[in-house]
Amino acid sequence: MSAPPAGRRPVMTDIARLAGVSQKTVSRVVNNSPQVSEEIRARVNAAIEQLGFRPNMAARALVSRRSQVIGIVTLGSALYGSTAQVIGVERAARAAGYSTLLVSTPDGHAESVSSAIEQIVDRGVDGIILSEPVDDWRLDPALLRDTPLVSIGSRSLLENQIVVGYDQQGGARRGTEHLLALGHPSVSHIAGPADFPDSFSRLRGWQEALEDAGIRPPRVLHGDWSSRSGYEAGRELAADPRVSAVFVANDRMAIGVLRAMHEAGRRVPEDVSIVGFDDIPEAEFQMIPLTTLRQDYARTTERAVGELLHLIHARERRPQRIEYVPELIVRSSSGPYRG
């Protein structure tokens, strides 16, 4: 049971010889066939690890008629959520033995998304993860007839589509209710871009929380998700002594608001309480740690890839929404109303 000659890449016959099984059994283990006992599977996997064997993906694709590639369509953006979703999908796919093909769109518009999906389908991927803040777009049904698709975060359910994501509206409501429970008579809001579905959903959650409490929502300010836009909106709010609480549509803008309040001499949280959204890594390490709504992107991307792999192998397609509620993380930036 010797290793292959030095310099030669190990092949299935080497694994079979070392494990004491047939080459066909090695092939079954490599292709995750259920027709192998756990004892034999463990022995073959130990031989694979010992020899450093890597399956020939091109050969496997010919046999299985699968490319072992998952396509990702995403917005061409450096925003935390978009980046975290791509990284999460890549890691989950790699852990399942798949590589990924990434196509980003310049604007997230329906035409761009359709074009990106068409590019990926033409490359022969086994399935597609749509990581796009896009709603109400339309695709030619023939485009995805033979290519499973799972969407992360979209509100729309297309035919046979599975959506995995977080309840943006419910999360915003929870953040706003947290500030109202602290006694604040009202809560101001800095929203994201008006044409972003997540921005709209978070705005609606804020509005609902105030209206249900019998409070007329104040005028909404809009940013572009950047810290600078949050800072500019924060300066406007800091000049209004009636403002005692602010729910901000993402953490980067909330960090800008923290700076604006500090420069205006408004103490956080003694004078103004601030709640963000996302729980980006920097939120915990501000001079005043930020209260925020946490979205666990590793959780949603792992679930999305798992659902896609089920579609690829089982070909079971049923519309389904798998939705999680963002977790309220209370830190130092929110406190009781002091009048």
What's the pLDDT tens digit per position in 254-284?
A: 999 999 999 999 999 999 999 999 999 999 9
86: Cα separation from own chain's centroid: 7
Question: What value does the mean pLDDT take over residues 58-85?
Answer: 72
Model confidence band, residue 48 (pLDDT cutoffs 50, 70, 90): confident
Q: Average per-residue pLDDT in the chain?
A: 86
* Same domain for 18 and 41: yes
Percent of the chain with pLDDT over 90: 54
How many domains is the chain built from? Answer: 3
Whether 331 is in a domain gets the answer no
The answer to whether residue 57 scores a pLDDT higher than 90 is: no
- The reply to whether 223 falls in a domain is yes
Q: Which of 28-32, 71-75, 139-143 has the lowest average pLDDT? A: 139-143
Is the pLDDT at 58 greater than 60, yes or no? Answer: no
Mean pLDDT of 287-311: 94
Q: Does the residue 4 lie in any domain?
A: no
Shared domain for 150 and 42, answered yes or no, is no
Per-residue pLDDT band at 79 (split at 50, 70, 90): confident
175 located within any domain: yes
Q: Sorting pLDDT into bands at 50, 70 and 90, what band is 50?
A: confident
Alpha carbon distances (Å) from 137 to 114, 140, 155, 157, 339:
9, 10, 11, 10, 47
Structural domain includes residue 225: yes
* Residues 161 and 307 both lie in one domain: yes
Q: Is the peptide bond before 269 cis (omega within 30 degrees of 0)?
A: yes
pLDDT at residue 62 in the model: 41
Q: Which of 135-149, 235-249, 299-313 has the highest mean pLDDT?
A: 235-249
Q: Which of 36, 55, 74 is the last residue of a domain?
A: 55
Higher pLDDT, 154 or 305: 305
Same domain, 215 and 127: no
pLDDT at 38: 87
Q: Tokens 């803008």 belong to which residue?
A: 253
| Residue 174 maps to a domain | yes
- Residue 35 in tokens: 């027709």
Alpha-carbon span 312 to 295, nearest angstrom: 27
Q: Report how far residue 285's alpha carbon sits from residue 302's, in angstroms, rounded to the nearest whole number.
A: 27
Considering the domain architecture, whether residues 161 and 302 belong to the same structural domain is answered as: yes
Residues 288 and 255 sit within 8 Å (Cβ to Cβ): no
Are both 181 and 257 inside the same structural domain?
A: yes
Answer whether residue 87 shows pLDDT above 60: yes
Q: What are the pLDDT digits (tens) for 151-201?
A: 887 655 455 578 899 999 999 999 999 999 999 999 999 999 988 888 999
Torsion sign across C-alpha atoms 262, 276, 295, 139? negative
Q: Check whether residue 281 and residue 224 sit in a common domain.
A: yes
Structure tokens at 298: 């590793």
H helices of the chain, in order, are 12-19, 23-30, 38-51, 57-64, 80-95, 110-122, 168-181, 197-212, 227-238, 251-263, 297-314
Query: Is 5 contained in some domain?
Result: no
What residues does 70 pair with on adjacent strands? 100, 127
Q: Are 113 and 73 in contact (CB under 8 A)?
A: yes
pLDDT at residue 339 in the model: 85
189 and 251 housed in the same domain: yes
Residue 111 reports pLDDT greater than 90: no
Where do runs of H (alpha helix) occur along 224-283? 227-238, 251-263
- Lowest mean pLDDT segment, chosen from 60-64, 74-78, 324-328: 60-64
Domain identity same for 161 and 308? yes
| Distances, alpha carbon 269 to alpha carbons 221, 226, 233, in Å | 20, 22, 18
Predicted local distance difference test score (pLDDT) of residue 65: 57
Q: Which two tokens stand for residue 286?
A: 């501000």
Q: Is the pLDDT of residue 60 over 60?
A: no
CATH classification of the domain holding 37: 1.10.260.40
| DSSP three-state, residue 58 | helix
In a shared domain, residues 126 and 194: no
Write down the pLDDT at residue 149: 87
Per the structure, the complete domain to which residue 285 belongs is given by 168-295
pLDDT at 218 over 60: yes
pTM value is 0.78
Answer yes or no: is pLDDT of 51 > 90: no
Residues 293-314: what's their mean pLDDT?
92
The CATH number of the domain holding residue 156 is 3.40.50.2300
97 and 41, same structural domain? Answer: no
Strand, coil or helix: 286? coil
> Is pLDDT at 29 greater than 90 in this prediction?
no
**Residue 159, pLDDT score:** 54
In this structure, are 85 and 180 located in the same domain? Answer: no
In a domain, 100, yes or no: yes
